[in-house]
Chain A
Amino acid sequence: MRVTTNLLFEKNFRAINANQSDLARVQEQLATGKKLLRPSDDPVGSAQIIRLTEDVNKIKQYQRKIDLAMNDLSAQDTALQSVQTLMNRARVLTVQSGNGILTEADKFAITEEIKQIRNQTLDLMNSQDSLGNYIFAGFQSETPAFEFIETLNENHVQFKGDDGANQIRISDSVTIQTTSSGQTVFNDVLARLGFQNLTVNGATVNKFNINNQDDFDVFHRNNFDTINPANNQFQLELTAANELTLINQGTGQTLDTYEFSNGGTTTIHGIEVNLSDVQVGDSVSFELETPKKQNIAQTLHNFAIGLSDPTLSDGEVRELITDTLVGIDNAMFQLGKESSSLGGRMNIAQSVKQSLFDDLVSTESALSTVQDLDYAEASAEFSQQETAINAALQSYPLLTRLSLFDYLR
């Protein structure tokens, strides 16, 4: 090939230019630490970077949310545990108050302590978080969840919130409930179930009261009818000399028959029955009480009032103690249920946090593979380019200095 003067310059210039732009590129990579300087360097990789960066951000946000959720949950857990401790103490005091040898001074002391426990419980039910939100008030967190109005005749403890519960997302697929409403935790507690309107037709009733609350609860649960109140009327009739028959007066259905002896005691669905002077055809009828839900603070308040009321008979006091014990037990059951649900949610949050952490590590390493520069490789490439450009720069003047004119004298 015929090499012309311009060709010689042009070719060398081109080579140096190309070397320089390669060198500049590697230098920019080394300076930024990034393999991809612009999307066109690796279009698929840069789209991946955007997605992976989003994933990393999302995981970090989830992690932060889990920390916040754990704070909220453990605040509730602490409150619930404190209430449980108080309930235990209240139960001990309630059992103690049934002891017949208590003096008036002892009773006063117990009453005072129960009032104290009631106040502490109310305080815990109105727990606030760091921003001043009432944590058990549901969605209406800016007003106290419970209000205690002592001057009323009944319903002294009133719930002012709602049963809203917040869910937060802690991973792409998992949401957990971070709040529990006071309505569910403290108010949704059944008071002792009972019967009312005992009417006697003919017989003499010696005993007709609940001595096995669990059996009675089962009977109540199975038979109570909210829609048609007439179906809650039951009649116990002596259908033969030694046979009592339980009839639902609303439906007219015969439920069961029981062996009976005049003056003897029978237990029917947890109700202790002792009748005398009974003729065949005589009957006793009663009505299932509508189940009532009672806040635990209300239960304690009722107990404190009753205990300090000197007009109550021993029987009434005994009933009151039983009511209170059942109320406390039901409350403990509800608290236990909430506690275990809280614990479960905290466990979920923990395990999600762990798997998010694993996710983060693998996502970040994937991101690094696409995005980050292999310094060893880049430095090697840099020195290689450097050698190339050095050689080009050195040979360039040597080559262009050659001219026939220099040899013509």
Chain B
Amino acid sequence: MIRTTDAFHIARTGLNASQQLLNTTSNNIANVNSEGYIRERTEFTAEEFGGVSRGKTERVIDQFAQTQVRHDTTRVAEKQAFYDNASRLDDILASEANSIAAGLNDTFGAIQLAADDPTDLSARQAVIGEMQGLVARVNSLGDYFDSKEIEIASQIDNTVETINTYVEEIAFLNENIAVVSASSNVNQPTELMNRRDNTILKLAELVDIRVIEGSNQGQGVVVNLAAGESLVMADGTFSAFQLFGEPDFRAVELQMRTAEQPNKQQTVINLKETKLGGKIGGLFDYRENILEPAQREVGVLGSSIAANLNEQNKKGMDLDLQIGGQLWQLPTTEALYYPDNSNTTSRALGRLSEDKSTDFMPVDFDVVIATDPDGGDGEFTADVTLRYANGERVLDETGQPLTDTITFNPTTDDFVETIGGFEIGFPDGEDYAAGDRFLLQPMRSLAKDVELFTKRPEDLALAKPLRVVSDIDNLGDARVGSTRISNTNTANFTADPEASIFTANGSLKTANDTPGGVPGPPASLLFTDANDFQILDAEGAVIATITDAPNLKDVLSYAEDNAATTGWPDEFSNLTDFPGFDFSIEGRPRAGDTFSIVFNTDGVNDSENGRFLADLRSEPLVRQSVGTRDNAASFNEAYSNLVGRVGSDTARSDVELEAAKVMKNQSSDWFESISGVSLDEEAANMIQYQQSYAAAARVLSAASELFDTILQAAR
């Protein structure tokens, strides 16, 4: 039998329930455009003795879908940050205005034309003009790298700030959710949970995280880095990121400081930046794998161009009839020092050896002073380790790290040569101690700082500095073939082992410039038979006598290589490269034929060195592998390799980005289809709940009628 009080109770709970359902539906409709809003549902159970229980409103959520969305968001953000930056470099390299290749074409084209007519000043001026253009292109690339470095550093800085803010916010929400949950055992604090999920998603955009939900409602979530370090603990404590910028404030590294807790010491952990994922991981990845290597490769290319043009120009004679000088100026590098050094004002300097350009590598030099200076300011040794921009050691072809130990004496040495075509110097008068550490990055700022040394068209050394003249009375048909200049060092050769036959004032050294007992430098060649000849000095003294030469190619080298039989003086052989030139004879000489060696005075129409300068364009001069110098490319090839590499890295990241986007679309579609609001569905629900409300109201009126009937019957 029906108890009327029960009917009232049932009607009231039914009305309540329908209202609550309508409430939930309205809330869903109202929040259809709220970011991160998750559809809610109110669930009821029938009460044991009639009526419906108080409903429980929950978020409709699939943990797996949510985790997948976070993960895919991280991936998209990482690839996006990488791609955005890489594609800008890609665009810069694509632009004709910045192309070093176009600058090289113009420069070497101008050199070739100038070599066709070495006396034409306007053609020489064109070479200077094109070289200025080339320098400007290299510089503007260098400036771009420089500004990118600063930009990336500040982006990383901002991102770290934001991460710390989010971490703090999540910890705060964790605490609040715990408080609210404790005060109500029926409804979830859905709004706070939405906010927390939102913040976690934003955090996931910046860094790869793993989220562990608490086992029961109200417990906070635990947020860990993908590698396992805890960021946020369930109880509301958290760790913070911090940046570490020694010795280079632009090449910041990331560390994590653990939560501050009583009775527990704070610890600092170094993080592996490129494994972080998210935007910050993408930025570090870009910096370490695109920006810094490309920057150093452009540095190697720029320094190779400069060094080779300089070296070749020094082997020629300029329009002022002097030995050629340098055309480009390579900068001297000052080392970055570590804060733990014994004296932070002491410096280490570095410069490139221009004659070792095929050893140039896109690497940094880590220098650690190994022994205390002898007697405080005397000789000391330093260990040099080659490192890539990301700090990894450079390995040679056998897998051994490339290292070197140099011995430096501040009073006698300015610079001491080490590996990689590099020279290191410690200024005299500054204090050093064992353990002091310096970081030299010659290739990093090179593209920015390289400049033209001269703007005078006359300084272009298109002629060779000496000529070999066949005597007019020669009876054979022999002619001078190629003349090769290898060394034009003008030092006095009693003092300097690098000396050559040339002097500083546009002439050749005479017989008087030699130590006693040794003939002067070669001045002529006298044939005593078709394959027999003597090398004579300017006074006619015999330097070497060659009999039965197999051919007349590079006659001086032949004499030197066979010193035992030719009598080529040891004093000459002991010098690095003396006399610093060689030549070949073509055709068949007859006995008595003479060839004299003279400075190329007034030889302004000679363009042989100009041809060699122009030939540099297609020679393999830029080292492409750290292991061996055999694998070298021409300037243009080196540049196109760089463009190709950046292009393929960009293309790869584009593909990865697209793939990540598709994944993210799919997972967010999945998530949305579960947790999103459908207005149609809510409309249908609303009608349904309106009807159930009307029905419950009808139950109430029916119960009321029943009660009235009873009352009247009892009257």
Contacts and interface: CB of A to CB of B under 8 A. Distances in A.
Nearest to B634: A54
B340 interface: no
Given A6-B32, A133-B119, A51 B636 contact: yes
B577 interface: no
A119 to B, nearest CB: 23
B611 A68 contact: no
A5 B679 contact: yes
B234 interface: no
Given A175-B611, A405-B683, A54 B115 contact: no
A293 interface: yes
B472 A39 contact: no
A262 B679 CA distance: 144
Contacts of B639: 50
Interface string B82-122: 00001100110110000101101100010011011101100
A152 interface: no
B463 A139 contact: yes
Interface string A358-369: 000000000000
Contacts of B678: 2-5
A291 B605 contact: no
A10 interface: yes
A57 B654 contact: no
A164 interface: yes
Given A43-B644, A408-B683, A139 B600 contact: yes
Contacts of B467: 139, 162, 164
B78 interface: no
A351 B282 CA distance: 56
A309 interface: no
Nearest to A160: B602
B77 to A, nearest CB: 17
A297 to B, nearest CB: 15
Residue with the greatest number of chain B CB neighbours at <10 A, chosen from A4, A61, A408: A4
B603 A139 contact: yes
Nearest to A138: B605
Contacts of B140: none
Contact of A51 (B479, B640, B674): B640
B677 A53 contact: no
A144 to B, nearest CB: 12
Contact of A168 (B87, B116, B480, B674): B116
Contacts of A175: 611
A226 interface: yes
Contacts of A42: 647, 651
A140 B643 contact: no
A4 B602 contact: no
A138 to B, nearest CB: 7
A38 interface: yes
A163 B674 CA distance: 93
B607 interface: yes
A187 interface: yes
A34 to B, nearest CB: 10
B116 to A, nearest CB: 5
Contact of A47 (B618, B641, B681, B683): B641
Contacts of B102: 53
B606 interface: yes
B456 interface: no
Interface in B617-654: 617-618, 636-637, 639-641, 643-651, 654
B650 A40 contact: yes
B116 A404 contact: no
Contacts of A78: none
Contact of B105 (A14, A53, A139): A53
A316 to B, nearest CB: 26
A314 interface: no
Given A168-B611, A169-B112, A293 B472 contact: yes
A266 to B, nearest CB: 29
A162 B469 contact: yes
B411 interface: no
B673 A3 contact: yes
A188 B591 contact: no
Given A3-B678, A166-B607, A166-B608, A54 B636 contact: yes
A61 B112 contact: yes
Nearest to A403: B679
Nearest to B96: A53
Interface residues of B, number: 78
Interface in B656-715: 665, 669, 672-674, 676-681, 683-684, 687
B43 interface: no
B643 A46 contact: yes
A183 interface: yes
A31 interface: no
Contacts of B665: 14
A14 B666 CA distance: 12
A51 B634 CA distance: 10
A74 to B, nearest CB: 15
Contact of B605 (A1, A3, A50, A137): A137
B473 interface: yes
B130 to A, nearest CB: 12
A269 interface: no
A179 interface: yes
A61 B647 contact: no
Contact of B643 (A50, A169, A184, A227): A50
A227 B592 contact: yes
Contact of B677 (A5, A69, A172): A5
A405 B607 contact: no
A38 B87 CA distance: 9
B647 A43 contact: yes
A68 B114 CA distance: 12
B647 A40 contact: yes
A357 to B, nearest CB: 18
Given A4-B678, A168-B611, A50 B600 contact: no
Interface string A209-245: 0000000000000001111000000000000000000
Given A141-B119, A183-B472, A293-B472, A404 B684 contact: yes
B475 A133 contact: no
B591 A227 contact: yes
B644 A44 contact: yes
Given A39-B94, A44-B644, A2 B463 contact: no
A7 B665 CA distance: 10
A37 interface: yes
A140 B648 contact: no
A41 interface: yes
A171 B156 CA distance: 52
B604 A38 contact: no
A89 interface: no
Contacts of A141: 119, 604-605
Nearest to B686: A408
Nearest to A64: B113
B590 interface: yes
A226 B647 contact: no
A6 B115 contact: no
A321 B660 CA distance: 99
Interface string A140-178: 111100000000000000010011101111001001001
A39 B607 CA distance: 38
A2 B608 contact: no
Nearest to B482: A167
Nearest to B602: A140
B528 interface: yes
Contacts of B117: 68, 131, 133
A291 B591 CA distance: 13
Given A44-B644, A168-B611, A404-B679, A4 B605 contact: no
5 contacts: A4-B676, A47-B644, A48-B640, A137-B605, A164-B606
Given A7-B676, A168-B116, A408-B687, 8 more contacts: A43-B645, A53-B105, A58-B618, A65-B113, A131-B119, A225-B591, A226-B475, A226-B591
Q: Which 10 A-B pairs have the closest CB atoms?
A: A226-B592, A39-B647, A4-B676, A139-B603, A43-B647, A47-B644, A141-B605, A40-B650, A43-B648, A50-B640
